[in-house]
Amino acid sequence: MAAILILFPLVMAGVVFALPSNRVRPWLVPLASLAHLVLVVVALGRPAISSRGEWLVLDPLGKVLLCFTSFLFLICTVYGAAYVAGQRERSNRVFCACLLLSLSMTTLVILSHHLGLMWVAMEATTLAMAPNLNFHRNPRSLEATWKYLIICSVGIALALLGSFFLAYATLHAGLESTLLFDDLVRQAGQLSRPWLHAAFILLFVGYGTKMGLAPMHSWLPDAHGEAPAPVSALLSGVLLPCAFLAILRIYHICSAAGDADFARRIMILVGLLSMAVAAAFMIRQRDFKRLLAYSSVEHMGILIIGIAIGGWATFAALLHIINNGLTKAGLFLAAGNIQSAFGSKLTDDVTGALRRLPLSGGLFLAGFLAITGSPPFGPFVSEFTILSAAFSGGYSALGVLFLVLLLAVFLGMAASVLPLVLGTPSPKAADRPFRDGIWTGLPVLTCMAAVLMLGLYIPAPLLGLLREAAAFLEAGP
């Protein structure tokens, strides 16, 4: 079943690439994404399979990430079909094929239980998404693409070196060399501590670069700012959490080795730094897509801090992957509509989005409230749980800093978002033909409705998956 989940979107990518019709091709992508989601649901209902010696395993962490990834891909590809349909002057052959290729490779990352295979899959996601960053074929998008490729490749090279160090940690301890996660967790207590520490630092920096943690985040604002709206949504909602999953795998090994405190100190420091850097760059940010990119840096820091605190914060961090991913996807898709309506992504040129696009403008405002942790939206629940776990777990100073940085982010985003949404549109913007439509509006509405629901009620199946994943991550060898 695991192989089918990977191969199906890969085969469909080839079918889409071979299809000659520029009009039909984009709509085949969401159909393939829907079929993939059905396959994922079927896989979730199958009995658990022993992971001993297996390279591809759907474990509790993978279930949460795979289900969410497939669902968000479906939402973004529905929007993407309408997005590229409105730009008939450009061929969408590569764009559509790369979307499905990215789905296949992210699925491979999630299912990989071998450190080397996961590394290959992670690099493949970078290469699969790169052509879509340059969809608009202008100097700024080309620069963003090369920055994305070069910086992420440096990060992935460091992760490869960390993988070698982790393998050597087994040899140095007199064990048989292995890169299977289950074997590494089981043997974690016997691993050489200096080599394990060195491996964790390299892997954390390497995959943290792909995750967008500060100070390795410099590719992220350019890539998110210049990519088409559905690609920005997938980068923030899917690819960054995939890198986070890789860090979780390494943290699980350190925790099983009894070295969780070593990892936690590094994670808390980098998490706070990411939140602080994001807050600083949000102040007077004129590009509202870059503003959302820095928000992604902030929320990657929140995820890392949640895992470092442990306990209930682990559950909250896993929930926050979903809350942040849905909210950020809704914001990027709404931002794409606003950019199309105003012909600009600069706050100097965009005012009165609520009047010009009542649906997208209203949902963008709701998304701002959600992403800054305002009730009754989902991010409030996960952030409040992390904060409560910090104070109850003896991390009072961390809790205070966390609150201060959340307030700074709220004020920084409000200074840019409120003038953008409120006010009166310019006559030039009013004359542009773009309007909210069902295929560009429904995906945004779906994301924000889901975020609101998760703030009020977490469905029992999702709650069970999250609890199982948190218990799996906290468990020993």
Structure confidence by residue, pLDDT tens digits, 348-402: 889 999 999 999 999 999 999 999 999 999 999 999 999 999 999 999 999 999 9
- Average of per-residue pLDDT across 431-445: 89
Query: Once rounded to an integer, what is the mean pLDDT over residues 149-162?
Result: 94
Q: Which residues contact 223 (CB under 8 A, 6 or more apart)?
A: 133, 144, 145, 147, 148, 232, 235, 293
Share of the chain above pLDDT 90, in %: 77
Q: What is the pLDDT of residues 459-473, one digit of tens each?
A: 999 999 999 999 998
Please state the pTM of the whole predicted model.
0.94
Q: 177: buried, middle or exposed (CB in 10 Å: 19+, 13-18, 0-12)?
A: exposed
Contacts of 276 (CB under 8 A, 6+ apart): 214, 405
CA 440 to CA 333: how far, in whole Å?
A: 8
Q: How far apart are CA 196 and CA 440, in angstroms?
A: 48
Please state the separation of Cα 350 from the chain's center in Å.
Answer: 27
* Mean pLDDT of the 203-208 span: 96
CA distance 250 to 304: 13
Q: Are 105 and 118 in contact (CB under 8 A)?
A: no
Question: How many folded domains does the chain comprise?
Answer: 1
From the list 46, 161, 40, 154, the residue with the least C-alpha distance to 107 is 40
Domain range enclosing 410: 2-474
> 114 in helix, strand or coil?
strand
Choose between 427 and 42: higher pLDDT.
Answer: 42
- Could you give the CA distance from residue 111 to residue 22 in angstroms, rounded to a whole number? 33
User: Rounded to an integer, what distance in angstroms lies between the CA atom of residue 59 and that of residue 319?
Assistant: 17
